[in-house]
Amino acid sequence: MDLNMTISDRDVLLVIDVQNDFCTGGALAVPGGEKIVPAVNRIAQKFTNVVLTQDWHPREHVSFAPNHEGKQPFQTIELDYGTQMLWPTHCVQGTAGAEFHRELEVLRANLVVRKGFRHGIDSYSALFENDHKTPTGLLGYLRERELKTVFVAGLALDFCVRFSAEDARAAGFEVAVIENACRGIDLDGSVAATHRSFRERGISVVSLEAFP
Ligand code: VGL
Ligand code: ZN
């Protein structure tokens, strides 16, 4: 998938977690996170179908390092569903950090999916929580709307964008990640691992410039 893609009514743009806490000055800032906002706004204008996700945690969330005595952010713990990275407290429901970046054109969206609201389970993916079983409801929406190709943009490339793209691909959608409308956190080579994984799974990586 490359030059001159045309966007159809069967395509959806999935915009992941463009929230203040993932931008400069936020609690879990992704380097240059806010820099993608103009690109996301520009591309969103070309889509009929735009879905936003919003990371939306209760303050006692299991993924927050301060909720585990003696643990620091970016250490891991073992939970029933597997290894969980611990994060600084971020995107707490109702706080300014959980709001969308003020320049993001949220009115373009026809659906907002909130995720990570169960205190005992994290949710990177827009489709399934981190147990890879509990649905957010987005898969049902995409299927009922008969959408076929999922374009993904947002934050962070190597966590929520990656998991969302992989789950959409595993569910049978064509998936293309718009590389220059994403930014990564990059912990221990996680951006390189993300690109390898996309290649193995047949997830396309495209550039904004490929859209007419
Ligand atoms: C994210 C870590 C924790 C993300 C969300 O949006 O990539 N990363 N919560
Ligand atoms: Zn989170």
* Distance from Cα 4 to the centre of ligand 1, integer Å: 31
115 is catalytic: yes
Question: Residue 166: is its pLDDT beyond 60?
Answer: yes
Question: Residue 20: is its pLDDT beyond 70?
Answer: yes
pTM: 0.96
Helix locations, 36-84, DSSP H: 37-44
- pLDDT score, position 85: 97
Question: Residue 101: is its pLDDT beyond 80?
Answer: yes
- pLDDT score, position 6: 83
- pLDDT score, position 211: 85
19 by Cβ neighbours in 10 Å (0-12 / 13-18 / 19+) ranks as buried
- The arithmetic mean of pLDDT across residues 170-195, rounded, is 97
* Domain range annotation of the chain: 11-204
Q: Which fold has domain 11-204?
A: Rossmann fold (3.40.50)
Rounded to the nearest integer, the mean pLDDT of the chain is: 96
* Distance from Cα 28 to the centre of ligand 2, integer Å: 9
- What number does the ligand 1 atom closest to the CA of 22 have? 6
- pLDDT score, position 212: 78
On whether the CB atoms of residues 210 and 4 are closer than 8 A, the answer is: yes
Question: How far apart, in whole angstroms, are the C-alpha atoms of residue 156 and residue 173?
Answer: 21
- The arithmetic mean of pLDDT across residues 172-195, rounded, is 97
Cβ 158 under 6 angstroms from ligand 1 = no
- pLDDT score, position 5: 72
Percent of the chain residues topping a pLDDT of 70? 98
Question: How far apart, in whole angstroms, are the C-alpha atoms of residue 57 and residue 118?
Answer: 7
Q: In what order do the strands lie in the sheet with 49-55?
A: 111-115, 49-55, 11-16, 149-155, 174-183, 204-206
Question: Residue 3: is its pLDDT beyond 70?
Answer: no
Question: How far apart, in whole angstroms, are the C-alpha atoms of residue 90 and residue 61?
Answer: 10
The rounded radius of gyration (Å) of the Cα atoms in the chain is 16
Per-residue model confidence as pLDDT tens digits over 123-155: 999 999 999 999 999 999 999 999 999 999 999
- pLDDT score, position 4: 60
Residue 91 pLDDT grade (very low, low, confident, very high; cuts 50, 70, 90): very high
- Residue of 11, 115, 122, 158 with catalytic role: 115
If phi over 0 gives left and psi between -120 and 50 gives alpha, with beta otherwise, what is residue 186? left
